[in-house]
Amino acid sequence: MTDETEVDLDDLTRRMDGAMTALRQEFASLRTGRASASMIEPITVDAYGAQTPVNQVGTVNVPEPRMVTINVWDKSLVQKVEKAIMESGLGINPQTNGTIIMLPIPELNEERRRELTKVAGQYAESARVAIRNVRRDGMEQLKKAKAAGMSEDEHKIWHDEVQDLTDTHIKAVDEALETKQAEIMQV
């Protein structure tokens, strides 16, 4: 097979994996009523003249299912970290004990859980669309390769490869969504 008639499966796989990675990051940002260190990853604090992620100014722990603690290393930053958390929009009121900031995670009500499952569904659909767009690009490469002299048999083999890759990634999105929705709805 010549380079002109070859579909870059590695590139298609990398791009589909990128859509899955983006989906996982979006899912991690959804609050499920359960404590997670990833909840505070997007929060930054003005430390030493630069915006610094909270996890770089202290140790983040999840000692129990409904509590996140941050042990701030520099006592002068405790109030800044506390303020950054309050202004982050997480809806969590931090409690300070010396250099330790405790974040109790409140229980989600049924209505909020349903809203979050819809948001998770929208994130999953965006990932599916991204994967289908990568598939479309792969099929375009196949059309060009066929025009450049790829045989019918080779075209069919490559077509099946691209479709299998797409099906595998769509199935992974569906499984991730199912898991996230179960996690959100769990009381």
| Claim to verify: residue 176 and residue 114 sit in the same structural domain | yes
* pLDDT, mean of residues 127-154: 92
The confidence score (pLDDT) of residue 32 equals 67
Q: Which of 104, 138, 162 is the last residue of a domain?
A: 104
Residue 55's pLDDT is what?
86
For 19, the enclosing helix (H) or strand (E) is: helix 9-29
What pLDDT is stored for residue 105 in this prediction? Answer: 81
Torsion angles phi and psi, residue 20, rounded to 5: -65, -40
Q: How many domains does the chain have?
A: 2
**Residues 99, 44 share a domain:** yes
Q: For residue range 53-109, what is the model confidence (pLDDT) as tens digits? A: 888 899 999 888 888 899 999 898 889 989 888 887 666 788 999 889 998 887 777
Query: Which CATH number belongs to the domain containing residue 96 in this structure?
Result: 3.30.1360.40
Residues 132 and 181 in one domain: yes
Q: What is the mean pLDDT of residues 35-39?
A: 77
Instruction: Give the residue-averaged pLDDT of 113-134.
Output: 90
Beta bridge partners of 97: 100
Same domain, 181 and 113: yes
Q: What is the pTM of this model?
A: 0.66
Determine the structural domain holding residue 180 and report its residue range: 3-28+109-185
Structural domain ending residue among the three candidates 104, 133, 159: 104
CATH number at 148 reads 1.10.132.20
Q: What tens digit of pLDDT does each residue of 147-176 get? A: 888 899 999 999 999 999 999 999 999 999
User: Per-residue DSSP letters for 21-49?
Assistant: HHHHHHHHHS--SS--GGGGTT-EEEETT
